[in-house]
Structure 1
Amino acid sequence: MLAFTVYDTKMLMAHLLKGELFDHFTIRQAEVNSFASFSINGTKEESYMTEEDPEPYCLWADIKPFVFQTVKGKKLPKSMKLVFSLPKEKTERYPNVKAVFLNLLFREGSLLCTTSVAEETFSLEQKATKQWDEDVLNFFKKHQIAIQIET
């Protein structure tokens, strides 16, 4: 597991809510506390799933407009928690993995990110966790999003 803080919260929020940078992630859960509290479960209804798209979770691109509506305005939201994962077909490169997660927690003007991995079977190796952490760090570096790793 990796924990880090994003320096430029405003830039990341622009990428997140107005850009396409996170659109390829699936969203497992979203909680927003602004003028009211909102909770979104990213699980697709079975009747909306197709053989061409068997992914059980919604893409962030599809949920993003709803989250944007809850946070837009003159006041910052009190808090926002987003739990992202990669679509199932993109986790094949990680050994022994059910899912990989990127969690974003915005609270009191600060944005904390954590990573985690759900393994198929318990392993002391932590190979997939290390690989996912490295991939997330490279993702933020590639897109010039400055971070501070928490110790």
Structure 2
Amino acid sequence: MIILTPETKTCMSHLLAHETFDHFSFIEGEIITFGKFTMSGFLQKSFFDEPPKEEYALWKLFRDYCYSIIRGKRTPLSFRLIFSLAPEEIGRFLSDSRLDFPLSDVQGLYLNFRYDGSKLTCTTGTSFRQFIMDKSVEQAWDKKVQELFFQNGIPYELDS
């Protein structure tokens, strides 16, 4: 787990106006402006004629809605957004990272964005189906997130 402090304006642009994070599953979020807006990305399968295979919606389905809440002359009082690498992407991540790690053991690879009214942070996280001493997946995920920020021109400081 690492904590990145990205340059707020650039990162917010990538979160709300670019496709940078669109391929992530949106787990949940909360935006506080004049009211509190709470969202769950959990797909309600009974809503669909043909139920989706995925458990969570992708961020791209929520991005415009969140932008409509946040845009304006005043910044939000706070927000938090929780993303996870989409399940079908986890296998590719393990392969690309040359990790000999069972896909079935990985529950999630997370990005948690939090804005407290003055500072934006992004925290990485990993979750496994059982306790694991091996930190190679966590370290590779931390590196991958830093690469994602760097490749998209999102400046950040690494907090210790």
Question: Shorter-chain TM-score: what band?
Answer: over 0.9
Which of structure 1's runs of 4+ aligned residues deviate more than 6 A?
Answer: none
User: Structure 1 residues 121, 50: closer, same or farther in 2, change over 3 A?
Assistant: farther
Are 1:28 and 2:13 counterparts? Answer: no
Q: Deviations over 1:50-69 (max 9, x none)?
A: 57x41110111101121111
Asked whether the equivalents of residues 3 and 150 of structure 1 are also in contact (C-alpha less than 8 Å), the reply is yes
1:71-116 Cα offsets, whole Å, 9 max, x none, are 1111000001000011111112433311110000011221111011
- Aligned: 1:9 with 2:15: no
Give the direction of change, closer, same or farther, for the CA distance of 1:90–1:49 in structure 2 (3 Å limit): farther
**Cα deviations across residues 3-32 of structure 1 (Å, max 9, x unaligned)?**
1111x2111111111111111111101100
Flag the 1:25–1:49 CA change in 2: closer, same or farther, 3 A. farther
Which has the larger share of helix? 2
Which residue number corresponds to residue 91 of structure 1?
A: 90
Tell whether 2:126 aligns with 1:117: yes
Matched residue type, 1:105: R
The corresponding residue for 2:135 is 126
Q: Secondary structure at the match of 2:121?
A: strand
In structure 2, the partner of 1:106 is 115
How far 1:126 sits from its partner (Å)?
Answer: 1.3
1:9/1:109 contact within 8 Å kept: no
Q: How many correspondences in the alignment?
A: 149
CA-based RMSD = 1.5
1:60 partner amino acid? W
- Contact preservation (8 Å) 2:107, 2:127: yes
Instruction: Calculate percent identity across the aligned residue pairs.
Output: 30
Provide structure 1 residue ranges, at least 5 long, that are not aligned to the other structure: none
What SS class does the counterpart of residue 4 from structure 2 fall into? strand
